[in-house]
Structure 1
Amino acid sequence: MTEQQRRPLPHDFHPPVPSFTVVSEDLVEGGPLKSEQVYAEGNRSPHLRWEGAPEGTRSYAVTCFDPDAPTGSGFWHWSVFNIPATVRELPAGAGSGDMAGLPAGAVHVRNDYGTRDFGGAAPPPGDGSHRYVFTVYAVDSEELGPDADASPAVVGFQLRFKTLGRAQLIGEYEAPDAA
């Protein structure tokens, strides 16, 4: 996908909020995703650690979104919320499989694959490089509001009004052309 074709990020439409820091043992800002984060290869959520969230943070939400998906509306790969404010890190694989790395009370909603977990990168072959935006939201309440049957769009709607701060890390992946 060319730079001109790249779509806005999901929070470009939200009110500005302070940023804080998110880092990963598995992702480098602007770098390629590891095979573990690719749907057909590992389908494993990356390690994420954050710090510097604004005062008043009562919980966190984490999402992964591909704004470059050829859908007209992007593609949600991961959406989890109600992560307690005492949690500052999710281990690799927390959003995958049995969710053993997620804290009690965290809620997963269905991704655009239709499953309640992390769904790895899977752009169409030959479609160019896609961005995978991992965002940690600092939330002003312990519970965001929706339940596990909500869509990522409903989660995003609630985050628009309840976010105190935001941190993001973007990885990229390009599926080889199926020649």
Structure 2
Amino acid sequence: MNWTNAPDGTQSFVLHMHDVDVARNKTTDDVLHWIVWNIPATATGLPEAVPAGAQLADGSYQMNILAPAYRGPGAPASGPLHHYVFELYALDTKLDVKPTAEGPETRRNVLKAIEGHILGKAAYVGLFKRPQ
């Protein structure tokens, strides 16, 4: 994934990937596939095969619903296509947020921390289901 034209004053980025077609545990929370925060302002993308682990070499952090790693699309072959939303936020700050043991809690903490700090946002929606 690559991006360009970050707003002036960008200090860091947050990438939030989630499946909006699945509610989790009878709540309104959708399924978190990946959240990466404190991506350096100098970054223009994320490479393939980002290694697992809570903190990455560039100082950013990552989490999915269960673990500190990328979790790709996984909609079943039977059923409709799922909408996977990638949201990239440009922030005027770095976040003072550490990963917790649970992805949904970590996501809530990150999304609360970005309030009032968003300089720009881009979104991409991809459709996916496994082949039959």
Unpaired stretches in structure 2, ≥5 consecutive residues: none
Alpha-carbon deviation of 1:176? 5.5
Partner of 1:66: 19
Unpaired stretches in structure 1, ≥5 consecutive residues: 1-47
Partner of 1:118: 70
Partner of 1:8: none
- Candidates 61, 68, 81, aligned match of 1:107: 61
Deviations 1:49-83 (A, max 9, x none): 11112111111111111111143321010011111
Distance 2:78 2:29 in 1: 19
| Equivalent residues in 2 for 1:1-179, closer than 5 Å | 48-71=1-24, 72-94=28-50, 96-97=51-52, 103-109=57-63, 111-112=64-65, 114-141=66-93, 143-149=94-100, 151-175=106-130
SS in 2 for 1:89: coil
Distance 1:103 1:125 in 2: 36
Across the aligned residues of Structure 1 and Structure 2, the Cα RMSD in angstroms comes to 2.1
Question: Moved runs in structure 1, 4+ residues, more than 6 A?
Answer: none
Distance 2:61 2:120 in 1: 20
Distance 1:160 1:130 in 2: 28
Alpha-carbon deviation of 1:125? 4.6
Q: How many residues align?
A: 124
Question: TM-score, normalised to structure 2's length?
Answer: 0.81
Question: TM-score, normalised to structure 1's length?
Answer: 0.62
More strand by share: 2
**Contact kept in structure 2, 1:127 and 1:175, CA below 8 Å:** no
Distance 2:96 2:52 in 1: 24
Distance 2:3 2:75 in 1: 27
Distance 1:53 1:167 in 2: 10
